[in-house]
Amino acid sequence: MEEQNINPEQSMQIIQSMINRAQNNVADNGFHFIFWGWLVFITSIVFYVTLKMEIQNGWLVWSLMPLGGIFTGIYSYYQHRKYNPDVQKKVRTYAEIYLGYLWIAFGISIFTVLFMMNKLGEATYPLVINLYAIGTFVSGGILRFKPLIIGGACSFAIAIFSFFTPFENQVLLIALSLLVSYIIPGHLLRNKFKSQ
């Protein structure tokens, strides 16, 4: 079998094409950043209002999260089938594989933090914000998309600040975190690839 030598310039072109493909796939599904950003943003604001108005069982608004998970699961399945009818022949880039593992780890971590909320107390929301920061910061690095990196960095700062903030105001900081790390970068990512 004949060996093929690839020069550094060709290697960089291959790597860049893989990143571009992963960016395109995420941009097509940039829906996830936008959907989850707005869902958590609105839910946080509504929950804050229920806290201020002392509405009993206001926390039930968070039950939208599992419904959001079911909805995005169904959406992803049908999008995957629509754009990849021959599922067996779908080739995934390393960037897509890394992103998949990152967001699986994110989901497990969010579930763990929320499951342990009684033990974590007022540290719960700052830890959740920190997980949002990790997800978007690393995604931005993998995709080489600066708005996600900047949004993630801002969320790290918001997470630190939230440790020194009263519990009910932490909910507003969750909304702010989603605005800078999911909603704005998600719309920028989608717009970037719609224009190309």
pLDDT digits (tens, 9 = 90+) for 94-150: 777 888 899 899 999 999 998 999 999 999 999 999 999 999 999 999 888 899 999
Average pLDDT over residues 153-175: 95
Which pLDDT does position 156 carry in this prediction?
97
Crossing angle between the packed helical segments 31-52 and 184-194, to the nearest 10 degrees:
160
In whole angstroms, give the CA distance from residue 186 to residue 132. 13
Residue 171: the pLDDT is 94
Rounded to two decimals, the pTM is: 0.79
Q: How high does pLDDT run on average in the chain?
A: 83
The residue type of 161 is F
Give the model's pLDDT for residue 69: 85
Yes or no: say if 158 and 129 are a contact pair by the CB < 8 Å rule. yes
163 contacts 126 by C-beta, under 8 angstroms: yes
Q: Are 185 and 33 within 8 A, CB to CB?
A: yes
* DSSP tag of 7: -
- The model's confidence at residue 81, banded by pLDDT at 50, 70 and 90, is low
Predicted confidence band of residue 91 (pLDDT cuts 50, 70, 90): low
Distance of CA 99 to the CA centre of its chain: 10
Instruction: Please compute the mean of the pLDDT values over residues 66-90 and round it to a whole number.
Output: 70
pLDDT at position 34: 92
Give the distance from CA 163 to its chain's centroid.
22
Token pair listed for 47: 């929950």
On the question of pLDDT at 52 being above 60, the answer is: yes
Q: To 10 degrees, what angle do helices 8-28 and 124-143 make? A: 130
Q: Of all residues in the chain, what percent carry a pLDDT higher than 70?
A: 77
Residue 89 has pLDDT above 60, yes or no: no
Cα four-point dihedral sign 78, 63, 108, 27: positive
pLDDT band of residue 17 (cuts 50, 70, 90) is low
DSSP letters along 22-69, please? HHHHHHHTTHHHHHHHHHHHHHHHHHHHHHHTT-TTGGGGGGHHHHHH
